[in-house]
C-alpha cells in the first residue's frame, strides 16, 4: 500500500516537472518571438521613413497622387508584409500562452472555478507597440 502511494506521488511529481519544463521552454520561445517582433518593428519604422521620403520626393516632382508611383507602391507593400509578419508572431504567442494555460488545467488534481476561467481567458487579440 505504501509503495503504491509512493509511486503515485512520484508520477504526479514527474507530470508536474514535465509541465514546468514544457512551459519554461514555451516562455523562452515567447521571449524569442518578442525579440523578433522588436526587430520587425525596427524594419517597419525604416520602411515608413523611406515611404515618407518617397512620397515627399514624388510631391516635389509634381506628382498629383504620389501613392500611384511604383516605388511608393512597392514600399507600401513591403510595410504591409512586415505588419502581417508581426501579427503572425502575436498570434503564435497567443497560441503558446493558451497551451501553457491548458497544460495546467489538464494537470491531474487541477481545479478551476468558473470565475478563474473567465479571468484567465480574457486577453487582447493584438498588441501593437509604437
Q: Distance between CA atoms of 76 and 82, rounded to whole angstroms? A: 10
Q: Would you list the domain boundaries of the chain? A: 28-101
pLDDT in tens, 106-123: 766 665 544 455 444 444
Q: What is the DSSP letter of 127?
A: -
Exposed e or buried b per residue across 17-40, where buried means at least 16 C-beta atoms within 10 angstroms of its C-beta:
eebeeebeebeeebeebeeebeeb
Exposed (0-12), middle (13-18) or buried (19+): which is 66, by Cβ within 10 Å? middle
Residue 109 is predicted with a pLDDT of: 63
Global pTM reads 0.71
pLDDT score of 110: 60
**What are 76-85's pLDDT values in tens digits?**
999 999 999 9
Q: How far, in whole angstroms, is CA 2 from its chain's centroid?
A: 46
Amino acid at each position: 500500500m505504501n509503495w503504491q502511494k509512493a509511486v503515485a506521488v512520484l508520477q504526479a511529481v514527474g507530470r508536474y516537472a514535465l509541465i514546468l519544463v514544457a512551459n519554461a521552454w514555451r516562455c523562452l520561445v515567447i521571449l524569442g518571438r518578442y525579440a523578433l517582433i522588436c526587430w520587425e518593428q525596427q524594419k517597419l519604422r525604416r520602411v515608413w521613413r523611406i515611404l515618407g521620403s518617397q512620397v515627399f520626393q514624388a510631391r516635389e516632382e509634381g506628382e498629383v497622387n504620389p501613392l500611384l508611383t511604383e516605388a511608393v507602391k512597392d514600399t507600401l507593400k513591403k510595410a504591409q508584409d512586415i505588419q502581417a509578419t508581426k501579427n503572425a508572431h502575436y498570434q503564435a504567442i497567443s497560441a503558446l500562452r493558451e497551451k501553457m494555460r491548458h497544460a495546467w488545467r489538464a494537470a491531474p488534481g487541477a481545479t478551476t472555478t468558473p470565475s478563474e476561467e473567465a479571468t484567465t481567458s480574457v486577453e487582447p487579440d493584438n498588441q501593437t507597440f509604437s
